[in-house]
Each structure stands twice: as C-alpha cells, then as structure tokens.
Amino acid sequence: MLTLTDSEIEKQYFMKDAIKDTLALFNKLEQEQIIVEHRTVIEMPNTHNAMLYMPCLDLKEKLGTIKVISIFPDNPKVNLSTTQGKILITELETGQHKAIIDASYLTRLRTGALSGIATDYLSRKDSRVLGVIGTGGMAFEQVLGILEVRNIEHIYLFNRTFKKAQLFKEKLQDFGINVEISVTQDVQEVVQQSDIINCATRSNEAVFNAKDLKEGTHINGVGSYQPSMREIDINAIKKSSKIVFDDIGGAQTEAGEFIQAEKEGHFSFGSTYGDLQQLVLHKINGREDETETTIYKSVGAAHFDLAVGIGVFKKLFS
C-alpha cells in the first residue's frame, strides 16, 4: 500500500497538473465514464463533528477513489485543521487497493484549479489585477489557479486580521511569485482596483460592496459553504450577467448568499446560467463582452477529488 503525505504531494503535483486533470474530468463526465455515488454523512451525537465518505469511480482510467473527511470544528482550539482527509485509490481491473494519500492539499488545489478554469472562461483576457479577500486556508491555491490562466501584474490582499494578510504575502513571495503585492486594510481599495476578485472567507455578511466593482469584473467565491453564510454582495449577484456554479445541486443547499438571493427574489437556481462542465464543454458561452460582471461560485463535489487523486496516482506511480 503506497502512502503519500500532503507535503510529499505538494513537491510533485502542481496547479498545472490539477487544471489538466480537472479539465479531462469534464470530458469523462460527458462520456459517462465517471460514477459518483451520494456521499454518506455521519454526524456524531452531542458534538459538531461529522464524518463524510465520498466514493467515486473513473471507468476510463479504471481507478476508483473514496475520500474520507473528518470535519471537527473545534480542532483549531488544539491547533489542528477543522477538516482532515484521505483518499484511498483502488485499481479497477482487479480491485486491488493501491494507495492512500492525504487529501488536504489536493482539496485546496482542485478548488484553486476550478477557480482558474472558471476564470479563464469568464474573466477579461486582459485582466491584470487580482483582489484577494480572505487569506485563510483556501486562499493560496486560489491565487495559484488565477496566475495559471491570466497575466496578473498586481495582487491586492485583504484579510480581517491584517497580520495574516502580511504573512500571506510572504508566503506568496517565498513560493516565487514575482508580481507586485499590496496588503491593505481597505477592502474598498481592493474592489476598486481589481479585474478579478477571489473571496474565500467564512463570513456571515457580504465582504465587499458591489458599488465598488469596476465594469467587467469577474468574481470567484469559494467561501459561504453553509446556508447561513454570506460572502458575495447580493447586489453583485443582481448585476451579474453570468453566474456559473461548480455544482448547482450542491450550491442549492450550501451556497448561503445565493440561497438568500433566491429567497429575496433576486436570483433563481432554476434559471441560472449554468455550471462549469457546460462552460468547459462549450454548451454555454464564456464572457461575451468587456462590461459584464461574472461570478463563479464553488461548493465542491466528490468527482473533483477523484480527478486530482487519480492524477497524483498516475503521475507518481504509473
């Protein structure tokens, strides 16, 4: 049984790989080569803890995965991550279990890859300024995803805790990202300057004001994964011409500000523009003019984990 830790994967499997493998997934989905089962959730009584089990098969690669995630919201109190995941990889010619690999980096990476792909279709080609709102756990790979698809010259960083945004800047520089990076305590400045805005927060209210948006901005939202959460200003939802989800079914039960916008009559999941798969397979158009406001909203789904889990396995072991 092969094993890989997050840090071993980080050294060998990169954003470029994740984007390639995720794009390939959409074709396999279209060709019905992917089997996704409903996830099993076990909530532990008298706690806020839960165990999630997400099995998925790739019939083309003849590899199956199950991601097992523990979600323990009190973990940060003891300096542990809230979520801890493993992906078990099974070869489907003979059913042999081949590898078990850490899933934390991969989950962040595939989320960043999906934002990158969405941004490639939806943002202006000449986008130069990226605004990052929320520099927590998911943000780093979000930036990597955007840098992979656009020639970004300037990144603005905003975080509720200023110090963390400064550390995030250092992390980007240490990684070798050689663009201008400004850390600011003024979220309005971020929004007014940016061509692309990435939100990755756990906020319960909008983290920016839609009035500050430049014409033609593209927004990525990867926070707001519970109905009570808000991150993207509902007025930005109202003024957007194209809203694309990674998984519309998942968004309907999880994407807080969109659920709220639907309740208030400003938006409807039933008549939404489409999902990332449609975008990648050219069933719907990407950006059509320079003035559109566009949004990509991500909540995650098991087959995205499958794509990168199998990608790692194929790159490293076969």
Query: Where along the sequence are the contacts to a copy of itself (CB under 8 A)?
Result: 1, 3, 5, 35, 37-38, 40, 42, 44-45, 49, 51, 53, 55, 57, 59, 64, 66, 68, 70-72, 75, 78, 80, 83-86, 88, 90, 92, 94-97, 100
Cβ 272 vs Cβ 252: under 8 Å: no
Residue 29 vs 59, nearer CB to a copy of itself: 59
Indicate the residue among 71 and 155 with the shorter CB distance to a copy of itself: 71
39/160 with CB nearer a copy of itself = 39
CB of 34 to a copy of itself, least distance (A): 11
Pairing of strands 63-71, 50-58: antiparallel
DSSP state of 241: S
DSSP annotation of 49 reads -
Q: How far is the CB of 67 from a copy of itself (least distance, A)?
A: 11
Q: Are strands 40-43 and 50-58 parallel, antiparallel or unpaired?
A: antiparallel
CB of 138 to a copy of itself, least distance (A): 18
**Nearest C-alpha neighbor of 64 from the set 307, 318, 301:** 307
Report, in Å, the least distance between residue 102 CB and a copy of itself.
8
Residue 240 CA to residue 231 CA, distance in Å, equals: 15
Question: Looking at beta carbons only, is 66 or 312 nearer to a copy of itself?
Answer: 66
CA distance 188 to 210: 10
Burial of 213 (0-12, 13-18, 19+ CB in 10 A): buried
Nearest distance from C-beta of residue 81 to a copy of itself, angstroms: 9
CB of 97 to a copy of itself, least distance (A): 5
Mind giving me the DSSP string for 126-141? Answer: T--EEEEE--STTHHH
**Residue 233 Cβ, how far from a copy of itself at the closest point, in Å?**
34
CA distance linking residue 111 with residue 98, whole number of Å: 25
For a copy of itself, the closer of residues 75 and 184 by Cβ is: 75
Residue 175: phi, psi to the nearest 5?
-75, -10
Smaller CB separation from a copy of itself, 80 or 281: 80
76 membership: H or E segment, kind and range: none
Nearer to a copy of itself, 74 or 126 (CB): 74
Q: What tokens does 316 get?
A: 């490293």
Three-class DSSP category at 95 = coil
